[in-house]
Amino acid sequence: MVTNFDYLKNESKFSAFANVAISAEKIILADPDASILNSRRAMEFAVKWLYSVENSLQIPYQDNLHTLMNTEEFRQLVGPDLWKRMDYIRRCGNSVAHSNKKPGRDAAMLCLENLSIFLDYVAYCYGEQYQEHSFDRSMIDGRIEKAKASRETARKVKETLLKEQEKTAQQELDLQKLMAENTFLREELSARHEKQQQTYVPKPLDLSEYETRKLYIDSMLIDAGWTQGKDWLNEMTVTGMPNKSGIGRIDYVLYDNMNKPLAIIEAKRTCKDIAEGRQQAKLYADLLEKKYERRPVIFLTNGFETRIIDGQYPE
């Protein structure tokens, strides 16, 4: 089975995370949640590998993924857009590992795409035989459709993939051991990164599709403890809007335990759209305040940049 991550095996230095990344893509057919966990694990292994070969990174007081990703040096290294992609993988992995909220196959696919972009950055900056690799979703969709067409094929594929998953699920990576193994590579790879980083072109964040923006926003809500259908509703209809139909639809509404709206979230495509959505969100908040006698907090977001309007402090 060919995957988007096979090229990583061409350079032995990437062995710390190559197989787990490959497994993450393979297992999505049988178990999207396991795919998300493997995407998170592959990313964690790659982050630890970066700490082991990069002079600009010093191990913080803890070596868990959240702490490693949030040092100022690491965030500067990968840049804001790539970091946000990585944080999505981390949040989805946490949802699978620590709650009964399952993100699903679309989220697993977005995790794979973001992992692919992160590892392409690693290969560009630290590899010797770099060739650009763009994530090919159609390759995975084709395998999924083939499995759907034949139950027997699907059964055999699932059995094989679950056996592979058992092996990768047990893998751990000791950062201190990795640091010792890569001592002699550190100067060489740090110098290579310093040179290559100057010409690296970040992959633009494409938030043109509402479904993609919703995946990012949903992951933040789940991570913060909200439950869809319980204290969080999507596409809530309101009447009394100043338009021809008089009807509006609020992207998200968050409720308290008394089932009164606490906040609304207006999801837009770009930073410019966020600002333009301010008036629309205000009209929604006005209607809810009139009905419930309490003004909801307003969030304006495209999934990456978020603004808050609470009526007490500047936006």
What tens digit of pLDDT does each residue of 128-184 get?
Answer: 888 888 899 888 888 777 766 666 555 666 666 666 666 666 667 778 888 888 888
Q: What's the whole-model pTM score? A: 0.85
For the segment 101-111, the average pLDDT, to the nearest whole number, is 87
Q: Is 249 helix (H, G, I), strand (E, B) or coil?
A: strand
pLDDT value, residue 180? 86
Q: Distance between terminal CA atoms of the chain?
A: 50
The amino acid at residue 72 is E
The pLDDT mean for the chain works out to 87
Q: Is 251 helix (H, G, I), strand (E, B) or coil?
A: strand
- Cα separation, 11 vs 106, whole angstroms: 30
Share of the chain above pLDDT 70, in %: 89
pLDDT value, residue 213? 85
Give me the sign of the Cα torsion angle 117, 206, 96, 226: positive
- Cα separation, 29 vs 105, whole angstroms: 9
For the chain, the domains span: 6-205, 227-309
The amino acid at residue 247 is I
pLDDT in tens, 257-282: 999 999 999 987 766 666 677 888 99
CATH number of 227-309: 3.90.1570.30
* Residues 43/48/130/183 CA torsion (nearest 10 deg): -170
Closest CA to 231 of 239, 216, 221, 219: 221
Query: Treating both helix axes as pointing N-terminal to C-terminal, what angle do 151-169 and 32-53 enclose, rounded to 10 degrees?
Result: 40
- Cα separation, 309 vs 315, whole angstroms: 5
- Quote the DSSP letter at residue 243: S
- Cα separation, 227 vs 232, whole angstroms: 6
